[in-house]
Amino acid sequence: MDKKKFDSKNKYIEVKAHGKLMLLGEHAVVYGYPCLVSAVNKYLTVTVDFADNKEERIVTPGISDQSFIKETVKIFRNRFNKKEPFTIETKSEIGGYGLGSSAAAVVATMKALIQLYKIKINEKSLFDLCYKVILNIQGIGSGYDVASAIYGGTIYYAQKGKIIEPLDVCGIPLVIAYSGVKADTVAQINLVKEKMKNYKEGVTKIFENIAKLVDEAKKVIIAKDWVRLGTLMNYNQDYLEDLGISTEKLNSMILAARKSGAYGAKLSGAGGGDCMIALVSEEKKSGVEQAIKTAGGQSIDIKIKN
């Protein structure tokens, strides 16, 4: 980022927000059930300043849809009654894989604007503002990605942000691979919504069972019981397949990982594409990575951020 592009009042602010990976609980979390989500070691960076020439400028290389950032600015202005035009630039290491770039962009932009005016705000209020942006644009979503971008680490998240519990977790040994297909989160959520409409009892039962897996996973993850965590991930994947949100490609990558010795493997996020994750010991790691590649997956060099 070239500092000279910004105005001379020394108000230049740069904020980073990291991407995320859903460990367990996707889709159920949209209905208030719990999930586990971890921050990853890749970031989206937002730089803001007051616009020199009174003309707002938003530059987002690699992000074609600026609606999340524009809505963030709008919500910020309304909430804090600010009228000045801004220059906003983003730089992303996380775009394209379903690693939460929209939520990271919203959180980083909101934080940067708040810092620009030296406003004091607590994490929960920041969460509420950012979650509102996501809902205004997407219409639906649990807010787990917003919470992850704000709180970092690994969190237990439920009830649309009423429960956000940072966990004392480190070193979850994950292999992450991209299916080559960009998922449409809203379409996937609507697919499940349709199922819920047609078969409420069955889908509710699946969500209750996923919630039990998440609650047990929360304990075993803290105890670093990777064998049991892998088993729970496999069970979670079974339920996601029952919901109809996995794909043949994801299934074959997941199966390949399990067959070559992963403790467990599942899709991560909305399904219909994006990434899968495999929990793997150091000894089995390269074999699992190779097997996923043979199944058509692209290994991506991302780690859980402790």
The answer to whether 141 touches 189, Cβ cutoff 8 Å, is yes
| Subset of residues 136 to 155 that bind ligand PMV, contact rule: CB under 6 A | 141-142, 144-145
The dihedral of CA 102, 107, 108, 114: what is its sign?
positive
For 83, phi and psi rounded to 5 degrees? -125, -10
Residue 168's nearest CA partner among 226, 224, 104 is: 224
Minimum CB separation of residue 28 from ligand PMV in Å reads 7
Point out which span in 41-49, 146-154, 162-170, 183-191 binds ligand PMV (CB under 6 A): 183-191
The answer to whether 92 touches 107, Cβ cutoff 8 Å, is no
Note whether 270 binds ligand PMV by CB under 6 A. Answer: yes
Minimum CB distance to ligand PMV smaller for 143 or for 230:
143
Tell me whether residue 215 is one of the annotated catalytic residues. no
Q: How many angstroms separate the CA atoms of 92 and 62, rounded?
A: 7
Note whether 288 binds ligand PMV by CB under 6 A. Answer: no
Minimum CB distance to ligand PMV smaller for 114 or for 213:
213
Minimum CB separation of residue 91 from ligand PMV in Å reads 20
| 65 CB-side CA count, 13 A | 12
- Of the residues 52, 145, 168, 301, only one is catalytic, namely 145
Residues 113-132, one symbol each (x = binds ligand PMV by CB under 6 A, - = not), give --------------------
| Subset of residues 28 to 87 that bind ligand PMV, contact rule: CB under 6 A | 29-30
Q: How many angstroms separate the CA atoms of 283 and 124, rounded?
A: 41
**Token representation of residue 122:** 């607590």
Residues that bind ligand PMV (CB under 6 A): 22, 26-27, 29-30, 98, 100, 141-142, 144-145, 183, 185, 188-189, 269-270, 274
Query: Catalytic amino acids?
Result: 145
